[in-house]
Amino acid sequence: MIFDTDHNQLIQQFEDREVIHRDPIQQVNLQHYKFKQWLEENRLLKDILIYSCVVIANDKAKIIPKNNNGFLAKDVIRATKIRETVNNLFTRHKNEILLSKDLQKIRKWLIKQHTPSNPDLLNKLQIKKEELYTGVKCPRCLKLPIKRKYGKWVCPDCYSTSKDAYLTALRDYFLLINPSITTMELKDYLHLESRTTSQRLLSSLYLNHEGTTKNRIYHLNSH
Ligand SMILES: [Zn+2]
């Protein structure tokens, strides 16, 4: 791995080819800056010293700076050096600035303000929506699709039944296809026979929604 800090790129070399990545040092510096800003904006801390570095987990990787003024050895370390690095920090900074209740407050805020990442996976992986297998999967033998009969999901192969097997399929839909769904879209996606069943399933989930009952759009809740 060649760290080219002049041009902010990481060049990864395999046997006969090269792959260019974003500069991890620049990335960690940005995270460092944003975290500091976040702490200040939320009035959690001011003027605190934050230490950040890039950790290379693959111990077979060869770390090469492109030039000598590129980066300091403390900016890029191997995973095996984490303990030593943290110990050194403890030795150098003996004053306790954060009490455990402060740390707990920061931890709570971080979790509260976390927004889960939901990348456009189909586009990223070059998979067409039509290529996906739809329907509900049997939680026991993984047969796809299984049928809904008398308020339950019944597997035609292993005969096991489930009340909520469709939830996994719906979660996949939200993550892969669209973070919102209509009654008709769910009917097609879950291979349901009636629109009423589709509507009943959706309204039982207490999802956020908009529009009249007929054309209602349901949105993925954060939970
Ligand atoms: Zn089954």
pLDDT in tens, 31-71: 999 999 998 888 887 778 889 999 999 888 888 887 666 56
The pLDDT value given to residue 145: 95
Distances (CA, A) of 218 to 120, 122, 206, 221: 19, 21, 9, 9
Ligand 1 midpoint to CA 164 (Å) = 14
Q: DSSP secondary-structure letter at 211?
A: S
Q: For residue 69, what pLDDT is reported?
A: 60
Distance (angstroms) between ligand 1 centre and the Cα of 162 equals 10
For residues 7-19, average pLDDT: 88
Distance 148 CA to ligand 1 centre (A): 13
Contact between 140 and 158 under an 8 Å Cβ cutoff? The reply is yes
Ligand 1 center–CA 138 separation, angstroms: 5
What is the per-residue pLDDT for 28?
A: 93
pLDDT at 74: 74
- Expressed in angstroms and rounded, the spacing between residue 142 Cα and the centre of ligand 1 is 6
Residue 137 C-alpha to ligand 1 middle, in angstroms?
8
| Residues in Cβ contact with 45 at an 8 Å cutoff, skipping those fewer than 6 apart | 39, 98, 102, 106
* Residue 71, pLDDT score: 61
Ligand 1 is an ion; its neighbours by CB within 5 Å are 138, 140-141, 143, 155, 157-158
- Range of 58-67, 71-80, 183-192, 199-208 with top mean pLDDT: 183-192
Yes or no: say if 50 and 32 are a contact pair by the CB < 8 Å rule. Answer: yes
Q: Which residues pair with 21 in a beta bridge?
A: 10
The better pLDDT of the pair 220, 152 is held by: 152
pTM listed for this prediction: 0.57
Distance 193 CA to ligand 1 centre (A): 20
Dist. CA 178 → ligand 1 center (Å): 27
Average pLDDT over residues 182-193: 95
- What span, in angstroms and rounded, lies between the C-alpha atoms of 36 and 62? 31
Q: Closest Cα to residue 189, out of 211, 205, 167? A: 167
Distance 21 CA to ligand 1 centre (A): 44
What's the CA-to-centroid distance between 152 and ligand 1, angstroms? 13
Residue 216 is predicted with a pLDDT of 87
Residue 52: per-residue pLDDT: 92
Q: What amino acid is encoded at 64 in this protein?
A: I
Residue 196 CA, ligand 1 centroid: distance in Å: 25
- Ligand 1 centroid from CA 185, angstroms: 24
* Average pLDDT over all residues of the chain: 89
- Decide if pLDDT at 6 tops 70: yes
147 Cα: distance to centroid of ligand 1 (angstroms): 11
Q: Tell me the per-residue pLDDT of 101-126, one tens digit each, with 9 for 90 and over.
A: 888 999 999 999 988 777 888 988 89
